[in-house]
Every structure is written in structure tokens, then in C-alpha cells.
Amino acid sequence: MNYVSQTAPPGVPPETIDYAGQTYHTVLIGIQYWLKENLNLGTKIIGSKEQSDNGIIEKYCYNNDPTNCTLYGGLYQWAEAVQYHNGAINTTSTNPAYYGHVQGICTTGWHLPDTSEYSILTNTVDNDDNSLKAMRQDSGTGSGTDLSGFSALLAGTRYSDGSFNLSG
């Protein structure tokens, strides 16, 4: 998923943000604002190709189907998501390590969350990740309840061999 947060304050984000031709809704959970939709920007490439530092934001659509980008958002490799900050590549950690917020592919004023921000999010919902998932996402005891209003969609993953798995 493409969580993007802006910690409150300063200022209250609008209920919707228009970015790269898409409209994203915001939700306040605890002291953090989050986009409710997964990011969906960039040029679609097929899963068998690697995203590259070429000045173009590239995305994968689950199973190479553009409809899945519309429904679930794009899938991004780490280096692409952070826009190759500090020489990021997908096979090793960055050097130097990140400090502070990394905007990456996010719109102005927003950033990719770090692990501490994600911890605040999950602790705010009592470590109940199911309350962050949209209704009927996942299954069994992991089934989404959307009690938080976050409505996360499980967009799946792309493997290094270009295959996809784990949607929903």
C-alpha cells in the first residue's frame, strides 16, 4: 500500500487533494492525516521490466491490467517511490540512511511515512490492522472492518520475476 501521511498540525489538509489527475481523500487518525487511496500516478510499465531512474515516474498495475491501477492504485518499487533519494536502489539500503521525511512521489506537503509513523497509526487503532482495511479485504480473522475510515485496499505485490500475487 502507498500510505502517505502529514502529521497535524500545521494546518488541516482539505478533505480531498487533486494530484496528477487523481482525487485523493484524506482522513485524520489520531494526530496524523493520511490519504485514503493508494497513489496512482506515473506511466504504466509491464511487470517483467524494472522501474528505472529515468526522470519518469513508473508504476506497475497488478497483473499488467490498467483496470487494477484504477481500482487499487499503482505498485512501485522502493527506489521509484522515494525518487532515488540518496542513491536509492531496490537491492540495498540507502547510504546515507534517510533522516526526516522523504517526499518521493508524493504531492507537495506530503511524504512517505517512516516506520515510527506507521507504528503511531497502528497503535492509534489498538494494533487492529483490520480496522484499517476496507470491508472484505483479506479473509478470516484478517478480514477488513474499516472501523478507522482509512479503507485500505490490498493492492498486491509484484515479484522480481515480474509476476504478481496477494491482491485483496
Question: Tens digit of pLDDT for each residue in 4-31?
Answer: 666 655 566 788 999 999 999 988 888 8
List the beta bridge partners of residue 111.
Answer: 5
In this structure, what are the phi and psi dihedrals at residue 7, rounded to the nearest 5 degrees?
Answer: -75, 135
29-84 pLDDT, tens digit per residue, is: 888 899 888 999 999 999 999 999 999 999 999 999 999 999 999 999 989 999 99
Closest among 159, 152, 71, 165 to 118, alpha carbons compared: 152
Q: What is the pLDDT of residue 2?
A: 47
List the beta bridge partners of residue 27.
Answer: 34
| pLDDT above 90: percentage of residues in the chain | 40
pTM (global) more than 0.95: no
Q: Which three cell numbers stand for residue 155?
A: 493492492
DSSP state letters, 135-151: TT-S-GGG----TTS--
Single-letter residue type at 63: N
The four Cα atoms 107, 76, 97, 13 give a dihedral, to 10 degrees, of 20
Single-letter residue type at 5: S
